[in-house]
A and B are shown apart, each in its own frame.
Chain A
Amino acid sequence: MAVKALQAVSQGRNGVGAFILQCKRIDLHYCDWAGSSKGMNGFIKSLFPKFAAAHPQIEFTVSPRPAKHPVAIGHYINGRSKPICVRNMEPYEILKKLELLRDASGEKLKKVTKPVRSVNESVRGIWSPYHGNGMPL
């Protein structure tokens, strides 16, 4: 009898081989006129260059968005994006939000009850009543 391979789709497991940061792009929008953008303007001038240099794997774009609140949008490898409005925030608060964007995967927020997620089959195998020593009565 010929040995046939099992057909299976490959499951990506980030970190097992190489680790790839899920956040690929962060857009920062600021406004020169709006008062709510004061923190964002200060952040772009002071803390942002160091943060951007520390993350060469993320593409950063900084562009004005006149007469609107400042916003930071994170784009992820799974195609989703996370906008965070940073109106009336101080530069260090905006840095924390950028760190949140960097740490996130793009997945939707979900309540997870089981801590371990695995695609491996069980190590011991599935119990069968026909194998092993049987059930002594």
Chain B
Amino acid sequence: MGQEINPQTNGFHHHLNGDRPDLLVLRPGLLFKVFEQEFLAKFNVLKAFESPLPLDKYLRDHAQSARAILCEAIVTRITADLLLQLPALQLVVADGTGVNHIDLAECHRRGISVTNTGDVFSEDTADYGVGLLIDVLRRISRADAFVRRGSWPLTPEFPVGRKVGGKRVGIVGLGNIGTKLAKRVEAFGCKVSYNSRTKKQSAPYDFYPTVVDLASQSDILIICCSLTDKTRHIINAEVLNALGKNGILINIGRGPIVDEETLVKYLVDAKIAGAAMDVYENEPRVPSELFGLDNVVLSPHRGAFTEEAFFDAFKIVMGNLDAFFANKSLLTPLTTNE
């Protein structure tokens, strides 16, 4: 998958400003930071973030001929207003999987192609979900902290955890990540069920039509879906009540899928048994009430952050850009249905 990165290939469209085509970067995402040298070698990177000019002036002065933009997802929003300021734009390259920051309908209307990084992050995210699950049940991070502060000789018996095997795991969103996660947790003797936008005919797991139904039949609820208007705050008090005081919530999707304020309250009041979170509503802000809890595992949005995944993502990003500038088919184009 992806094209070999070959500096000798001269398939680029020659641009007025030199040999290398323009590539607009409003804010440097993590992929750009890691592979900046590679991008600089092949493109005339328009670093809007380094300019003292206000953005609209910068775009007016420098980006009127830019045909491609590489965008991160944390702050950047590809809106109709932005697209108005980029008359030559024909390609939006997202540096990750999610594209909820991109107005796909407007891009489609303007004939602008959009690519994401396909499936490259799903394996590591699924792995991470399993790691968080085992950690919160078996108290791995708490036990490691216990040993490191020298408590073991003083308190010979660290509190026992809970067995993974036999737990009912409810997966919210049986997409690329959810499917891989399901396969993994089954190997530990967990029983998998799911809720998804639509029932997956080929999936051998029990389907529940609502998240509340799923939660009421689960010991562990794992969020693997994407963030959309329909999934914002889908994990709310009703769902947490259904999950119950022995239930555990794991979020490896997006922070706003969960009503965070309610979740924190439920954890502090012991209305659910524990949680593991890789994502939050307002990253990097994490509710400090969580810091003192022994039944949570907290992670700074790194579920997909491996060298292997980043390199695979880089290959897809570069592959899409190479294809675009060589007038070939894009590797991972999205439609408005994505």
Q: A and B, one complex?
A: no
A-to-B contact residues, CB < 8 Å: none
